[in-house]
Amino acid sequence: MVRRLLPSDWFAGSMGPGANARPRGELPVQRRTFLAAGAAATVLPGVAGAQVGNPVLAKWTGPHGGVAAFDKVRVADFRPAIEAAIAEHDREITAILADKRPPNFANTLAPLERSGRALDRATTVYGVFSGTLSTPEFRDVEKELDPKLSAHYDAVNQNPALYERVKAVYATRQTAGLTPEQQRLAWFYWKTFDRAGAGLAPAARARVVAINQQLSTLFNRFNENLLADEETFSEVTTAQMAGLPPSVVDAAKASAVERKLSAAGAIVNTRSSVEPYLSYATDRASRERIWRKFVNRGDNGGAHDNNAIIRDILKLRVERARLKGFATHAHWRLDDAMAKTPEAAMALMEKVWGPAVQRVHEEVADMQAIANREGARITIEPWDYRFYAEKVRAAKYDLDLNEARPYMQLEKMREAMFWTAGQLHGLTFAQVHDIPVHHPDVRTWEVRNGAGAQVGVWYFDPFARGGKRSGAWMNQYRSQEKFEGPIVAVVSNNCNFVEGAAGQPVLISWDDATTLFHEFGHAVHGMLSAVNYPSLSGTAVQRDYVEFPSQLNEHWLPTRQVLNRFALHYQTGRPIPTALVDKIKKAEKFNQGFDTVEFLASALIDMKLHLAGDVTIDPDAFERTELAKLNMPREIVMRHRTPQFGHVFSSDGYSAGYYSYLWADVLTADCAEAFGAAPGGFFDKATADRLRRTILSRGNSIEPAQQFRDFRGRDPDPAALMRKRGFPV
């Protein structure tokens, strides 16, 4: 059965990278996918015979534990495949309900874990196309299938007879001789069905189903509008590219050529293109023009404006929450999170907000002083912040992060991630060429542990292209399990770098390299899982816990062991100078005001929107009013303004949950201090073994707070977060 936090989470989106103190990308909600190895691609006997040979439905077979036949899939395959898989899943659920014996683990939860495997495979491939190959033809199919999938998952999760069976197993879990993991699975299913509204009266259940279908359509429209705005671009002249690093200039030129423009360059309206421009371009008027285009995605009126969609989503969410007995959508969402309540999440955010805003005022004063000394005759504006931050960095720390770029070769950073995972966890990576992929850019590796046993397959999709959503993310194509035999994880990391000139290495920023390590942390979390049941496997944990292992993985990039081996100049092959590394380390807490406020503004608005109740909200007006109440510094905008906030409005995935990155960073900071205090530092073997044993291998088989206590010996200390960011404790 698919792991469902709620039906609409199934098609959660995936968003963009960030910097040290802010989220680097979304981990989409995991669809638990099953497959069995075999000699040839076949379709389960129960699936509609007319679909025999449909590659979307086919069992994942062949080498490396079995993989999807991505190379055979066509858009026309999705509609019949998913309809047939839904029908098969319905038959499996009917068979569970037909069992007249008293409900127990063997006749209820075990078959639920086995059910839906054809649908899992189909929706995994469907999700990959949605995120990375979204053509107009595919979007037409999405508009039809998303509501059908939502309705199907509701029909399962809200089935009252199935809920009664699950509830009966849950009630006797401690006296029925179940293992601890089986008891956790019983809790998981009970919680999932209960939160979906299976215990509601028929009329209320029917209304929840209708709301979920409406939401699925609205999510699709929001995402389509955002993607349309992100596919636009700004033309720039050679003069307007002054100050940009050569690799960024090359990328802008390549974007212009790709679009058959006569302009010297093009800055695509995505974060990975815009932020480097804002950081280094000396032409202030062009910075403003490109900044305004970027921050107004989804907010320009016309066909692609998202404000009315957001208003409707918010009203439907609060209605659904109240039908389920919760005061607001935020209370419902956090009922199954580490934070437990919106009040707890708000308390953490408010604790950090004040010191972060004060730091922003200090940062702006430093910038304004430089602008004044240079005779710029300006007042620092949002489109100046990144540009002048680099000047302050150079003045205070004698550091221009652009100096690091020639040492940040994409392929070397990938090798660095592999090496780090090997040193910490004994993992080895061997590139393989016999795995079908969905695009020529995608490459694959087989992953083994220190004992030589395969633990996963890793897909790498690094480059931007039309139809691929922006940012960086990890996907779990298949979860590890032991229930149906030893089945290894299949995961992917996805980025949006721009390919350089032929034969030239792709050079990335320090921040991009950190993003790579972050997303790879999600992948390692998925591949090191060692649980029995796929619903509890890998990254299938609470939203405000899942970012903890990935944020922790960022800490290995700046270690000397990594940089000396892999941060090599693309022309000379020499390692990054020790003096430059020392400057980077010395400046670790630089710009934390900006990083924290930019993120927290989005997180606070997200929570406030979902605590507002059933009032009709004008998203733009609400954003302005609430930010004014927070005394938002005028020189910064939210990292994700409301009309482009895909984390929150392209699915239910991070709705009332964007705070999760901050919550997880409390755990991250505390855990990092444990490594820092260990005899071997961040490569201390005993500490890494303990991390793998208590956290990375556990999935959701043990309550997350207990996992952290098992690692640290106590609950997390929020003061570690303040120390990490350089704020007063």
User: Which residues carry out catalysis?
Assistant: 519
What are the E-state strand segments in 148-237?
233-236
591: left (phi over 0), alpha (psi -120 to 50) or beta: left
What are the E-state strand segments in 50-190?
none
Three-class DSSP category at 544: helix
In the 8-state DSSP scheme, what is residue 562?
H
| Cα–Cα distance measured from residue 556 to residue 566, given in angstroms and rounded to the nearest whole number | 12
CA 108 to chain centre: 32
Asked if 529 and 466 touch (Cβ cutoff 8 Å), the reply is no
Three-class DSSP category at 704: helix
Specify the DSSP element, H or E, that contains 491: strand 489-497
Q: What angle do CA 7, 708, 477 make, to 5 degrees?
A: 40
Edge-to-edge strand order for the sheet containing 489-497? Answer: 428-432, 443-448, 454-463, 489-497, 473-478
- Residue 727's nearest CA partner among 397, 348, 353 is 353
Q: Give the contacts of 226 (CB within 8 A, at least 6 positions apart).
A: 297, 298, 304, 306, 644, 646, 650
List Cα–Cα distances, 667 to 26, 334, 340, 594, in angstroms.
18, 18, 16, 21
List Cα–Cα distances, 225 to 107, 220, 255, 302, 307, in angstroms.
45, 9, 21, 10, 11
Backbone angles phi, psi at 725, to 5 degrees: -95, 0
- Amino acid of residue 574: R
| Cα–Cα distance measured from residue 436 to residue 433, given in angstroms and rounded to the nearest whole number | 8
Beta strands 454-463 and 489-497, pairing class: parallel
| Cα–Cα distance measured from residue 230 to residue 225, given in angstroms and rounded to the nearest whole number | 9
Asked if 674 and 661 touch (Cβ cutoff 8 Å), the reply is no
List Cα–Cα distances, 605 to 92, 215, 358, 628, in angstroms.
42, 20, 19, 11
| Cα–Cα distance measured from residue 716 to residue 702, given in angstroms and rounded to the nearest whole number | 17
